[in-house]
A = this chain, B = another copy of it.
């Protein structure tokens, strides 16, 4: 244990502007949409130089993913029964995606990932995997079933967002909950 206390590396420390940049990202995406929310505009909204943003995130997509991670936070995973747990998780995701800027940012980075394998890797590893593992643990379901669950919930919400420009209304979220609950009611085991 010779170097167990890195204390602080030499050089000027980074200013604590990550939270400000995340807030500026969401508000800029919310106002202008994903494509017009350029890194330059986001940086200006945060009161920060563009080079500062690129010093911390390698690409616009990586910035968005980190911003989404910050916006979502850890999954609540509340509920005593499997049904309650799934229901609350779905409603939690729906509510988060409905927050101003979050859905637009999510759909935007998602579509960028289609033709960008590096970004797809970031999206899958940094954003999807933590929630996937937490759900596997909480639900006791195998990986492929949880991935299917995520595909259904997030896919439906993003498709509605992309087609209409707005979040899904509550009645349809309820229908989504009922449909998913019925499919997963029989517990782990089937394909």
**A residues whose Cβ falls under 8 Å from a Cβ of B:** 32-37, 104, 107-108, 110-117, 120, 123-124, 128, 144, 148, 150-152, 154-165, 168, 171-172, 174-176, 178-180, 182-183, 191
Contacts and interface: CB of A to CB of B under 8 A. Distances in A.
Contact of A159 (B36, B158, B191): B158
Contacts of A104: 114-115
Contacts of A36: 115
**What does DSSP make chain A's interface, helix, strand, loop or mixed?**
helix
What are the 8 A-B residue pairs with the smallest beta carbon separation, nearest first? A111-B111, A33-B115, A155-B159, A155-B155, A179-B183, A35-B115, A34-B115, A155-B156
B107 A165 contact: no
